[in-house]
Amino acid sequence: MKSLRLLKRTLNKFNESSKSNIFLRNHSAWTQDGIIKTPYEDIKEIPNITLYDYVWQNLDKWPERTASICSVTGRGYTYEQAFKLSNAFAANLRKKLKIRDGDSIAVMLPNVPDFPLVAMGILEAGGIITTINPIYTAHEVQRQLLMSEAKVVITLPNIVGVIKEAFDIAKINLPIIAVKVNGETTPNGTIAFNELSEDVHVDKSCLKEVRRTVNDLCFLPYSSGTTGLPKGVELTNKNIISNCEQMNEPDIKCHSETTATHQDAVLAILPFFHIYSASVIMFHKMAQGIKLVTMPKLQPDEFMQALEKFKINVLFCAPPLIFLMASHPLASKEVYRYLEMVINGAAPISSSDADRFMDKVQRKIRFGQGYGLTETSPVVCMAPKDCEDYSVVGPALPSTQLKIVDSELKPLGPNQLGELLIRGPQVMKGYKDNPEANDATFADDWFRSGDVASSDAKGYIKIVDRIKELIKVKGFQVPPAELEAVLREHPSIKDAAVIGVPHPTKGETPKAFVVIDREAKVDVKEICDYVNKRVAPYKQVNDVVFLDSIPKTASGKILRKDLKA
């Protein structure tokens, strides 16, 4: 009897294993070894050109179309103007500032219409763009200038003081180019951008000396540093061009063709210094002849007005913008009447948050989520046009493979939680001068995302949270994003964040930080009761702190390390 029971258990295990293997073999999204395939055809050929040439390759189709325009001042450039001015700027970078192939140039600018001109000029001069958040302190700036080995800094006149202070700390002295946006005077010791870009006499023959290939670096952003110090992410021309081509897949593309009678308008409110906006909005949309409406900083009323004034039909968001558009007093179907596509990225949002926004729109538009990282140029997944499940980020892009693995990097199957691994032409070359980080990040030829995810049978990915941000309660894993979504459903809570804090018996326990409406009268007990009725006992919250705002990166990710500090 004992041996029969043992045989039965063995057969049952075998049958379950066989069923799983048969499923993986027979289902088109999964291979037998647990690789999740894209449903799309691979890119036939990645253009063998630089990002500079890629962006301008169809310039003759839309020279008179608006390339970039400021939502506040109305100042802007046509595509032809942008090309000519960036061309002269590139020549002067080489002639007057002695920039050579592979030199890094730091750009510390908000979203102004000149940003694309600056970026394209750097690329044409053979340089590498490295971007710096314009609200950084001198200590943060000097660290990045040293790490990136920048040769020039480009900024606004009112930021020059911070740059010079950074020079003093780092004991360096670099040329500073000032971009004047409101007729300011040129600060002492700087060069005016317009003098370099409007120089009609500059000898452009020096640009023939530039020798950059598709495999050379072109962009060096620094990862957001939500869990540690930022790292320089080395992105090649091929990485970003591949991602642009991947985003052109008809089933997922977020733009319409620019024609004699139509030009999409994209509101560039997400910062260009971040890869999401730099690649998805600036480089990709310029290559499609689309109008970039730039907004230097988020001012809620002006943001809402710009949607109407500039007839914005394509909008790329991060969660804070979705929350704003769902709760702003001006939110209405009238304000949103031009919107056709709204894509959330940078961090996941819950279906309930998406529903609240869609309730304001009051009509069917394309709303979906995408997923990516600085290290993947950035897009990995995108919800297709017909996807109405707001909780997923869609399947893998063309030429992209994924895996969900356990802590020992062994492949998992459908609907199992694990770390997401990525392989594709958009994956970075590596972290600059950081072999230890590279060794920890790459497993064979797979990039380890550090994100907890699951995939359904069709290969549709759902992002749960960052591995390092999961809260471990008595051995159970609690994703902060899940509790944050519950908290935001409370009628008095405008925003929320959750972290894990040490606990004497549980190991860790969730702690909530909330921003409430000014008029609201709510206490800690009410909030805890609200959450705890909706979650399992091990996920319950018993500690709440009230804040004026939740600390976040420019791309909308919660800075949990600041909350823990």
Tokens, residue 100: 């050579």
Between 284 and 519, whose confidence is greater?
A: 284
Nearest Cα residue to 284 out of 386, 441, 397: 397
The one-letter code for the residue type at 523 is: D
Q: Which residue has the tokens 């102004």?
A: 112
Joined tokens for residue 341:
């596509």
Mean pLDDT value across residues 530-542: 91
Contact criterion met (CB below 8 Å) for 160 and 187: yes
pLDDT, tens digit, 9 for 90 and up, residues 486-497 = 999 999 999 999
User: For residues 560 and 479, is the Cβ–Cβ distance under 8 A?
Assistant: no
> Within 10 A of 398 (CB to CB), how many other CB atoms are there?
22
The pLDDT score that the predictor gives to residue 477 is 76
Looking at every residue in the chain, the average pLDDT score rounds to 92
Residue 24, pLDDT > 80, answer: no
For residues 242 and 43, the answer to whether their CB atoms sit within 8 Å is yes
pLDDT at position 454 is 96
What is the structure's pLDDT at 11?
34
Residues 6+ apart with CB under 8 A from 445: 423
**Residue 21 binned pLDDT confidence (cut-offs 50, 70, 90):** very low
d(C-alpha 384, C-alpha 396), whole Å: 10
Question: Nearest-CA neighbor of 136 among 111, 115, 117, 110?
Answer: 110
Dig out the tokens for 73 from the structure: 């001042």
Helix (H) or strand (E) run with residue 116 in it: helix 115-124
> For tokens 């969660």, what's the residue?
319
Residue 322: HSE in the Cβ half-sphere, 13 Å Cα cutoff: 31
**C-alpha atoms less than 13 angstroms from C-alpha of 451 in its C-beta half-sphere:** 25
Residues 395, 400, 406, 411: is their CA dihedral positive or negative? positive
d(CA 42, CA 246): 9
Tell me how far apart the alpha carbons of residues 546 and 512 are, in angstroms, rounded to a whole number. Answer: 9
Print the SS3 string covering 527-561.
HHHHHHCCCCHHHCCCCEEECCCCCECCCCCECHH
CB 313 within 8 A of CB 341: yes
Give the global pTM: 0.86
d(CA 482, CA 291): 36
Helix (H) or strand (E) holding 165: helix 160-170
Q: What is the pLDDT of residue 518?
A: 85
Q: How far apart are CA 285 and CA 272, in angstroms?
A: 13
* The pLDDT of residue 23: 40
3-class secondary-structure state, position 292? strand
Confidence of residue 96 (pLDDT cuts 50, 70, 90): very high
DSSP 9-28: HHHHHHHHHHHHHHHHHHST
pLDDT bracket for residue 19 (50, 70, 90) = very low
Phi, psi of 108 (to 5 degrees): -120, 75
In whole angstroms, what is the distance from residue 321 CA to residue 264 CA?
Answer: 20
Q: What is the DSSP letter of 27?
A: S
Residues 86, 97 contacting (CB under 8 angstroms): no
Q: State yes or no: pLDDT of 5 exceeds 80.
A: no
Predicted pLDDT at 507: 83
pLDDT in tens, 66-83: 999 999 999 999 999 999
| 333-338 average pLDDT score | 97
pLDDT tens digits, 381-407: 999 999 999 999 999 999 999 999 999
Q: For residue 466, what pLDDT is reported?
A: 82
CA pair distance 184, 311, nearest whole angstrom: 30
- Tokens 């060096």 identify what position? 220
Q: Is the pLDDT of residue 226 over 70?
A: no
Whole-number Å distance between alpha carbons of 118 and 208: 19
The domains of the chain, with CATH numbers, are 75-212 (3.40.50.980), 470-564 (3.30.300.30)
